[in-house]
Structure 1
Amino acid sequence: MTHTRAVLQRYAPGVLLSGVLAGVAMALGQLDWLRKHGLSALSLAILLGILLGNTVYGRLAAPCAPGVTLAKQRLLRLGIVLYGLRLTLHDIGQVGLAGVLIDALVLGSTFTLAYLLGTRWLKLEPNAAILIGAGSSICGAAAVMATEPVLHARAENVTVAVATVVVFGTLAMWLYPWLFVLNQHWPVVGGGVHGFGMYVGSTIHEVAQVVAAAHAVDSAAADTAVITKMVRVMMLAPFLMGLSAWLACHQSPAQRPGPHRGARGGWSNIRMPWFAFAFIAMVAFNSLQWLPHPVVVWVTDVDTALLAMAMAALGLTTNLSAVRQAGLKPLLLAGVLFVWLVLGGALIHCAVLSLL
């Protein structure tokens, strides 16, 4: 009993603070104006966390720090695992081989471009380039947060990456309906409304932003866009596994965090993201449809709350002065990736449909 009380006293203040911010963000995320502008609960949670973290949190940090760290790390991993209940293996069949191939090519090309341009041209930290690439190529803020435990990246790098998702994902929501009108006059993206929906789902950052942009086009396009996006989200787990293996083989001993520091390189030093395996297992379990639909809805709501708490905790520990020091280079990288998603994504779409 004494141990339980001590654990509660240690972690409760920070977890409670993260939970309150997450609750406010989820409530604000239901407002039509904010939803139409692509500000999801996750984006709002980190904004609220940053606001509080750079004003009054300094006076609360001592009692809250352990719980905030718990929310930023362990609750995040649990949230990513439960995210699998939003997907089924059937989602892959809905878009067919073409949709899966388009998603894979967009993901691979965008992330590769992010790393090469970020590290070689803009001279960003590798972790910063990887996080921006993950957010642009997979599923926005959720991908950034899921990649952070593999990298052990600094909070400022994570915040900057999430900020780029908000900026360019919001821009995409306004741009894509206009591109659809242009595409009707000068067809570049084939497949009609269904094909354009696949294009939207494979190239826009956040799920919420995909929904908003596709609904502005057509309801049929929205259905295809969401399914395509869900398949892209499902690629998060194999991406994390591949990233972990790549880091183990290419990072120098001094670059490896934690217990791996100083170890010899190679496959034996892979920092296995076990939560990624659990994510895949959750997708497979959800495909069996053993859980009643109301239970799935309830769990996904809990999952959103967990992810929002993690984002709020991240914001609380982010120092804006460090973000300002990052300068315009991260925004420039994200801008180049956005152009690639729009133009390169269209080229990939056309090439795949012409081959299949």
Structure 2
Amino acid sequence: MRTSTLLPLILAAGLASALGDSTDSPLAALDAATQQVVDRVQAAVVGLDVERTNYGPRDLTAPERQLLGVVMPYDERYFARPEGPCSAVVIGPQLLATSSYNVAGDGEITVHTADGREVHATRLGTDNNLGVTLLKTEQDVGPALELRTDEPRVGEFVVLVARSKASTPYVTRGIVSGLDRFGGDAFAHSARTNYVNTGGVLVGLDGRAVGISTQHGHRARQGQNSGVGFAASFADLAQNLGQLKEGKDIAKRKLPFLGISADPETFNGGEHGVRIGRVVEGSAASEGGLKAGDWIKIFNQVEVKNFLELREEILSLKIGQEILVTIVRGEETIDLTVKLGSREEQD
């Protein structure tokens, strides 16, 4: 049985024991706890209609095709954002928070409330690191959520509550599966996410809001309903909340940069780890002696199996940090010291 399936069952068993309720079924206890959470927060979750450009079909890049195992012709519409609603959450009087991905551009925004009203909203500030934008509504649209001030914990159960235009909320559930994703700006979770519930709220079993479901651009690995989702914690959002309310944007910070691209034929890894396809001139990789055709076997004492693992490891480090890289070049195994550079992240 997969961990993502087993943990909720363990939690449910604990709930059944703790509640001492009329049912002896752990799954029934989990369902009851989930319903209690939804009932507590659903009035603070709204749907959004956003006027946006029709993105149209999107071609996959060669690395994306490699990652997804796409070798035959495919329907390009699958990788294009369809027309339809998304979600946001109430965090204060006439104040919403949502994924920046939902409200990119300058199109009109209409809010659909839990009690059936339609209210106009405008954009305030955006935290370009967390991928969260605040919205100002013309009138109150619901009660504010109770926000967690502490970071999520790996393994804790979360309920993702969202809304489209319907009077009933849209709910999925899962666990917090990882922290410090995207350079520390997101945590990973297993609740199924898609275009509708992006911008919805992840809530703990205590009914407090843990984070906002975010979408980090058109990345194929964030497949719809895949069980791999990302969110920004309210603890992180609180650090710049005052500036965001004033309509100020938080600039995208520079990220650590190695300066290589993977060989497309070995994007998912190979015999010795990650094979370098190209080295950016003047980059940390170039200055450190890495060359096209080298295999990166161990990076900062971590054995990397594919390019995505290498990328996550780079993003966990600091600009200017010196790290040891073990490569395979021909028949030789070589240790090189590389000092990480910087760049602004591009989708």
TM-score range with shorter-chain normalisation? under 0.3
TM-score, scaled to structure 1: 0.26
Question: Max radius of gyration: which structure?
Answer: 2
- Ranked by relative contact order (alpha carbons within 8 Å, sequence separation 6 or more), the top structure is 1
Q: Which structure: greater strand fraction?
A: 2
Q: Which structure: greater helix fraction?
A: 1
